[in-house]
Structure formats: structure tokens, C-alpha cells
Amino acid sequence: MNHPYSHYPARTARRSPERVALIDGSRTRTYGELDARAAQIAGALVRLGLSPGERVSIVQENRIEYVEMAIAIARAGGVLVPLLGALTEREHRFMVDDADVRLVIALGTESVARAVGAVGESDAVALALGDTGGVPDLATMADQEPGEFTAVDQKPDALAQILYTSGTTGNPKGVTHSYASVSAAMSAWANTFDIGPDDRILGQLALSHFGGRGMDVCWVSGATLVIQPAADPKAMLGAISEHKITMILAIPTLLRMLLDHPDAADTDLSSLRIVMYAAAPTSPALVRASLERLGAVLHTGFGQTEAYGLNTFMGPDEHVAALEAGGDRLVSVGRECATFAQVRICADDGSEVAPGEVGEICVCAPWATPGFWKRPELDRARLQGGWLRTGDLGRMDAEGYVFLADRMEDKIISGGYNVYPTEVEAALAEHPAVAECAAFGIPDPKWGEAVRAAVTLRPDHGVSEDELIAFCKEHLAKFKVPKGIDVLDELPKSPVGKILRRALREPFWKDQASGVHGAE
């Protein structure tokens, strides 16, 4: 089996070599050009001695060269280990050591220092696409290769990727994916959204992570990826209008920033047919605002690094119906995806809980990880009987709609009651002054834990702590109401833009003997 990163873009290049594959500022690549350059780089990697199954890291940057390199590594039989550009040198070095990486590649001369730092004391070798005078120039080596290369063929269960989590709870963990699991995820995304050659997808999120789903569905379908270096709302609005973008991927925080931007009201967004928001819980207020501004284009679902196909899905018609019906279905992540996924909500012992009860979301799907890199204890804990225990809490209603609660470690237990931060955050997000919010547990001598929150405000809005607490009392049970709310300039976020409750929580727990506090 050829790795789908190798097979799909090559297939599109054979069928439509002149079709535009990539737009990156003033630069473009047709599928024919992309395929030929990937073949040259793959040949250079093999000439350097890369063997099938050896790991290759890319210091991630959103640019044409990332796409070329990802395809080339697959074509040479290597295993992709992306290094998210927003992570620290220490985290990069850990990943390179942990994955026994053979090569670390800088996509340009400006990122060579990051590649060299990632190599550290390991046996890996740093390379660069460009002459730096310090590390070997892979681009020049590739120039000397012919534009044809026979892709390495391997078994479907062969290792294809090691994707590291962002390390929000200690060192990053390596999540493996096989040729088969990658192929299943790519095809599911393309089929679910009915992506075709006329689609233009905006690539503003990290192409090594969530943004990569926009990248690889282009290869399957022959669509065009419009690359942006970062998720800047103003630049996104400009690109949507200029390039007639049909699909964007966004986390809820970014979607809010996009709608709140001063340019949004005057920007033509009519080309959008798919706005896929995911990767974190959202609020009813944001979904309503998005529907009012963008129309019936909203899609959502549930996935994670360990299972990055669409495990659940809710489309535009369901969003509109939920808006008209009222209630909480507007913030569901949808029902079990029609394409090969199975989802259930389980108790600690693995048994399914009753509809409406909160439990751990478990997934069985062909795109689930085959295992964790060098972490057999995680395999035992998370992979059981063909099911992936996701570590995310949720509930399922009688019609099969799934609602995210929280990560298991974020649950608050106050006076014996379970409080899920998303419930508190959903209430706070209804206040017209609140832009972003996070709820978390802090030690409390009476109740064991107490609810606290932090918010940022929308432009030209003001509100006091007392006013926010009074607002919460109108919308939440008494034991769920925050005892204090901090108004901040910004909330801490992970490198992929998720709000870090842990960073807000930690200062309150630093003098505790453990992270679990009991009533005194």
C-alpha cells in the first residue's frame, strides 16, 4: 500500500496536472509541479540513506514547502513526525529523542536554528531547504534528482505518522497512525463534506495538526489549498473574499475573533459553504451569532489526535433545526458519523451509561490510533476491546446526539456535586460583554473545590465581576455559580489555540499536597 500522502496527490497529478494545488501568497503550485517536486525530495532523502520506517521531523511552518515535504517523506517510506512551530525547543527536543528521529528538516534558512535545537544531543541530522552554510542543503540535493520516483510500498498497518500532543499535561505523548488509519481519515473527511475540484480550502491553522485535514482532503479531491502563515482574522477575511474560499476550519475561539473583527461586516463571505468548527466546546451564543452572520453553512463534529476522522457529525440543516427548536442541541457535536464510526458513552468499567448521563466518550473507527509510541501503559488504559477511550467526558441524548462535557481532569467536584466547566462557560458566554471564558476548580475548605472563572471582554464592552456572578445565578444552579471571576486581557492558550484551564487553575493549587482537594 502506498501511503495516502503519496498516493492521492500523485493520482490527482496524473488526472489533472495543470490544476492549481496550492496558493501561498504570490506563489502557486499545480498538482503536476507539486508531484514532481515531492518526487525529487523523496529521491534526495533516499540518497541520504533514509530507510523505510525511519522517522523524519519537519519544523512546521504553513508554507508550500511543508506540503511538498510531507508528501516526499511518505513517498520515501519515512514516518512523519511534525514539530509544531509554536512549541518550545525543549518540547521539540523531547519529541526528536522520544521518536528516535533520523532527520530534522527546516523548511527555510530562518528556521535552521529551531531544527538544530531540536536535534540537541540526539543522533538526528538537521537539514534545510536552502543554503545556510551550516547544515546540508536538501533543496540543492533535490534539484539534482529526476522528477520521477517510485514510491515505497508497505503494508496497510505499517507506521505512517507519530503525532505528538501539545503537552498540556506534562511531556507530549506520541500518537501513532498507520497507512490504513490515515487513509480512512482522509477519505472520511473528503466524503463527508463532498469536497470536489472546485473547492478552495483556507489553510490558516497549523498544517501539522487540525489544519492538516484541510490539506489532505485537497489531495483526495483535487481541490485547492490557500495557505496562510497564521490564523489572523483580518487576513482570513481578505483571503475568503479574494480567493472565494468555500471551506474553512476553525476552533470556536477563532470563529468568535473572525465574527468580531471590524472588517467582518463589510466582507463578502458568500462563497463559504462549509465552516467546520471543532477541537473545543462552543457556546450557544457563538453558534447563534455564526448562523445569523454566515447562514446555513455550519458543520461540527468530534475528533482528536488519537482518532482524527469525524467520529460524530452535525451538518447545516441540523444546526438550523436546533436553532429553531431551542434547547441545548445547538451545542451538540452531532451524532455518530455515518462513515464507519461507532461512538458510545461509558462508565469507568466500560459499560454504557443511560441516555443523558455523563461518561467517557469511546470510539471505534478505522482511523483510530493503533497505539501510543513507547507507552504500553497508555495502550492498556486507552485501547480496550477494539475501542479507544478518548479521555473526554460527554453525554448522549435519546436520539444519539453527543454533547461534550470536559476532559476528565477538568471536572470539578464541589460539595459532592459534579460540575463540568463547559456548563459554566456556556452560561458566561451568553453575556453580551464576554468574548472568551474558562471555568476551573480551586481548593475550598468547605466544599473541597469551588468554581472560579476567567473571562476576556468583547471590544467596547465593560462589565464587573459582581455583574457577571449575578448573571450566572440567573442561568446556573447555585453550586455551579463561580465564587469569583477574573476579567483578563487574554486567556492562556495552547499552541493550537485551545484555552488552557490548567494554567488558570495551577496558581490556586501550588501550595496543595496534590491536585485533589477534600473538604476540611
Mean pLDDT within 173-199 = 95
What average pLDDT does this structure show over 254-261?
90
Give the pLDDT confidence score for residue 166 in this predicted structure. 60
- DSSP bridge pairs for 161: 80, 177
Where are the domain boundaries for CATH 3.40.50.12780 in the chain? 4-185, 231-407
Task: Determine contact, residues 80/56, Cβ cutoff 8 Å.
Answer: yes
Give the percent of the chain with pLDDT over 90. Answer: 73
- Res 509: pLDDT: 83
Helices 421-429 and 465-475: crossing angle in degrees, nearest 10, is 110
Q: If residue 342 lies in a helix (H) or strand (E), which one and from where to where?
A: strand 342-346
pLDDT of residue 143: 96
Look at 222-236, 368-382, 473-487 and tell me which has the smallest mean pLDDT.
473-487
For 155, phi and psi rounded to 5 degrees?
-70, 155
4-185, CATH topology level = Rossmann fold (3.40.50)
Residue 518 has a pLDDT of 33
DSSP tag of 151: P
The second-level CATH assignment, the architecture, of 231-407 is 3-Layer(aba) Sandwich (3.40)
Residue 398 has pLDDT above 80, yes or no: yes
- Residue 178: in which H helix or E strand, if any? strand 174-178
pLDDT confidence of 412, banded at 50, 70, 90?
Answer: confident
Q: How far apart are CA 279 and CA 509, in angstroms?
A: 27
Which residue has 463532498 as its cell numbers?
A: 194
Write down the H helix ranges in 126-283: 138-143, 179-192, 212-221, 233-243, 252-260
Q: Averaged over 309-318, what is the pLDDT?
A: 95
Return the H-helix or E-strand segment holding 6.
Answer: helix 4-15
User: Is residue 238 scored above 90 in pLDDT?
Assistant: yes
d(CA 206, CA 183): 20
**What's the CA angle centered on 430, arms 426 and 435, to 5 degrees?**
90
Is pLDDT at 178 greater than 90 in this prediction?
A: yes
Taking 70 as the threshold, does the pLDDT of residue 169 lie above it? no
Supply the pLDDT for residue 513.
43
In 10 A of CB 406, how many CB atoms?
22
Query: Which secondary structure element, helix H or strand E, spans residue 128, and what is its range?
Result: strand 125-128
CB atoms within 10 A of CB 448: 19
pLDDT at 515 over 70: no
pLDDT, position 170: 60
CATH 2.30.60.10 corresponds to the domain 411-509: no
CA distance 178 to 277: 26
> Which grid cell is 386?
477494539
- pLDDT score for 514: 37
Residue 429, C-alpha cell as written in the block: 458566554
For 25, counting Cβ atoms within 10 Å of its Cβ (0-12 exposed, 13-18 middle, 19+ buried), the class is exposed
Instruction: List Cβ neighbours of 366 (8 Å cut-off, separation of 6 or more).
Output: 180, 181, 184, 309, 340
Which of 213-227, 284-298, 505-519 is predicted least confidently? 505-519
- d(CA 499, CA 488) in angstroms, rounded, equals 13
Q: How far is CA 146 from the centre of its chain?
A: 36
Q: pTM for this structure?
A: 0.85
In the predicted model, what is the mean pLDDT of residues 200-218? 94
Give CATH 3.30.300.30 domain extents, the chain.
411-509
Q: Residue 397's closest CA among 478, 338, 314, 474? A: 314
pLDDT at 512: 61
Please tell me the least confidently modeled range out of 160-169, 250-259, 420-429: 160-169
Q: Give the confidence band of 343 by pLDDT, cuts at 50, 70, 90.
A: very high
Mean pLDDT value across residues 312-341: 91
The per-residue pLDDT for range 90-124, each reduced to its tens digit, is 889 999 999 999 999 999 888 999 999 999 999 99
pLDDT band at 516, cuts 50/70/90? very low
User: What grid cell was written down for 10?
Assistant: 500523485
**Burial of residue 66 (number of CB atoms within 10 Å: 0-12, 13-18, 19+):** buried
CA-closest candidate to residue 124, choices 107, 106, 141, 140: 106
Confidence of residue 168 (pLDDT cuts 50, 70, 90): very low
Distances (CA, A) of 337 to 69, 174, 270, 288, 333: 31, 26, 27, 23, 10
